[in-house]
Structure 1
Amino acid sequence: MDLRQLRYFVGIVDEGSFTAAAQRLNIAQPALSHNIRNLEEDLGVKLLTRSIQGVKPTAAGARLYEHAQVILRHVAQATEQIRGYCGTPSGSVTIGLPASVALVLAVPLVEAVRSEFPQVSLRIVESFSGTILEWLNDGRLDFGCLYDVVKTRSFASEPLVAEDLYLICPPGAGNADIAFDDLSGVQLIVPSRPHGLRERLEKAAREKCITLDVAVEIDGLPQIKTLVGKGVGCSVLSLSAVLDECRQRTIEARRITEPVLRRSVHLCRPRGMPLTEAAGAVRDTMLRVLRDLVGQGVWPGELLLDGAGDD
């Protein structure tokens, strides 16, 4: 097994086709097929299957694909870090963001990085916190934003913003505060377990000895907001996730009190993974963009930045 074979294999899985992969990798298709046959022979297992739907990995191939992505990523990071000594940040940086964070941070961050570091290729992946945590542990991300992080040996973290949670209601509900106890009579639209927001709500409910009425479980921020706007039920979200809808009066936001529900957003990165010049530049840019967003009220919350992580 060598790096070239791994790149070819990843290219085929990504494209779902030998022909498309050959074009992307700029290699003749017979040579590509020959390399994959050699790889399968070396490993003693079939890695790919062909059908009318295209080329897909076998169970063994899927596992190799996961390892290959990490291996190739580490090789690329090593290359980029050495090249970074030229003084101009370059290379790729991958960040994982939960949907509510991506909604407010992704666009201004991309604009700033593109303007200041044109040789840096920024990739933003939007996913659930559990998936982002998994990718951080696997070394697939340079950074990831997570909520309410507990210190761990697997990754370093630094707090960014603390934000209150609101009851998000259909139009006409008003914006007066609501006590947490009063949520027991509200039909809720919330993510399914083990989503962090769902667990935060249920923990508070247990502490207050009340039962929440979960009417709908759906793991999608846009769908949750649409259902609330149509009067199907209410939800619990951060204010930053619904600012546009509140301004348009398509939904209402009521701050939850007694107790106030608050969560903190942390920037995390894998421990032991060298920080490339490009990743360091993107981190600094992200913190500056974040300060601006909070200062301008675009991201409602309390700034927690102290200028350093807990390395």
Structure 2
Amino acid sequence: MIDLEQVRTFVAIVEAGSFQSAADRLGIAQPTVSQHLKKLEEAVGHRLIERSRAQAIPTEGGTRFLPFARTLLRVAERAQEALTDGEFVIGASSNIGVYMLQPVAAAFRSIVPDLRRFDIRIGSNQETARRLEDSEIDIALMEWWDDRAGFDAKVWREEPIVVIVPPDHRWARRAWIDKATLMEEPLIGGEPGTGTARLLQDRLGIDIAALKSGLQLGSTEAVKQAVRAGLGVSVALESAVREEIASGVLVAPRLRSARLTKPLYSIVPSHAPPGSPARKFAAFLPAAAA
């Protein structure tokens, strides 16, 4: 069995850099720190810390164990919060969390006044899925889902996808473009793992391998700036570029014979009770997004 206090001590040693500093941080004696680490190493069957007079650093095994140790502590904290003050935590992928979630979350809070603690954690789609599996969040809002066991997923919104170009681009004054035209320009990529490339393949029949790959920037904000600078074109959730299109700094030419939409998912652990905040929020989402 892995003891959480021993895990907490191990993390403190790594973060503080020495046994004495870890002891000061935890408010315990230095020999107790050493004892905690020794018992943890015995429990996991690996040496976790290289000891020296000057510094304590994780071994190769300790480095591999560290992210799991931190996850164990986060999950333990969430479990305690669930029993005490009823914190409700929403996890959202970056585009949803930045451009869509706040008004919906505010409306939900207004109709559930007994929700004492409320938090939103924004990250990549992969990070949000990991947080859901590790019980760090109560519900996930994501741009894809892979139907893994133990979770209930529903589409709560179909969000339009638009092509974006700068106002001086040759496409900006065209009434429409087709998929062949779209493949002429380098396509700037945003956050990986959003499923946009597969959407283009499934809905438009575009061969992903034939697309001209542009910059891969990791976020929609960076993509918008790159498109404005003339570094290529891109596709984005309409909600993420609505203000730029309205102000004229970006233009969204229409795709011929196609209105692309991306399904957005709400995912709740299957064991969540019907009256839980996660279930209530999942039921609230479709009407709020309408």
Instruction: Give the TM-score taking structure 1 as reference length.
Output: 0.71
Match 1:171 to one of 132, 142, 167: 167
1:219-275 deviations in Å (ceiling 9; x for gaps): 222211110011111100011111222233221223434332221111113334x56
- In the other structure, the counterpart of 2:152 is 156
Q: Give the Cα separation in 1 of the matches to 2:31 and 2:137.
A: 34
> Where do 5+ consecutive residues of structure 1 fail to align?
84-89, 295-302, 304-311
Q: Are residues 215 and 290 of structure 1, via their aligned partners in 2, closer, same or farther at CA, if it must alter by over 3 Å?
A: same
Helix, strand or coil for the counterpart of 1:153? coil
* Distance across 1 between alignment mates of 2:64 and 2:225: 37
Is 1:131 aligned to residue 130 of structure 2?
no
The corresponding residue for 1:251 is: 250
Name 2:92's counterpart in structure 1: 97
What is the one-letter code of the residue matched to 1:225? K
Alignment match, 2:117: 120
Given that 2:14 and 2:57 are in contact with CA atoms closer than 8 Å, whether structure 1 keeps it comes out as: yes
8 A Cα contact 1:186 1:234, kept in partner: yes
Aligned residues: 283
Higher relative contact order (CA 8 A, sep 6+): 1
Candidates 142, 148, 152, aligned match of 1:146: 142
Change in CA separation of 1:122 and 1:45 when aligned onto 2, cut-off 3 Å: same
| 1:34-82 CA-partner distances (Å, limit 9, x unpaired) | 422332244342223579xx86544432443344445445544544444
**Post-superposition CA distance 1:138-197 (Å, at most 9, x none):** 444322222243544232112211011100111242584433332122231124865521
Residues 7-26 of structure 1 mapped to structure 2, 5 A cutoff: 7-13=8-14, 22=23, 25-26=26-27
Counterpart secondary structure, 1:171: coil
For 2:17 and 2:114, the matched residues in 1 are separated by 32
Post-superposition offset of 1:102 = 1.3
State the SS of the aligned residue for 1:96.
strand
Partner of 1:298: none
Find the aligned partners of 2:57 and 2:203 in 1 and give their Cα distance: 44
Partner residue, 1:226: 225
- Structure 2 CA distance for aligned equivalents of residues 13 and 175 of structure 1: 58
Gap runs ≥5 in structure 2? none
Using the aligned pairs only, state the percent identity: 27
TM-score (norm 2): 0.76
Counterpart amino acid of 1:222? E
Structure 2 CA distance for aligned equivalents of residues 123 and 16 of structure 1 = 31
**Corresponding letter in the other structure for 1:124:** R
Residue 249 of structure 2 aligns to a residue whose secondary structure is coil
Secondary structure of the residue aligned to 2:38 is helix
Q: Is the 8 A contact 1:168 1:252 kept in 2?
A: yes
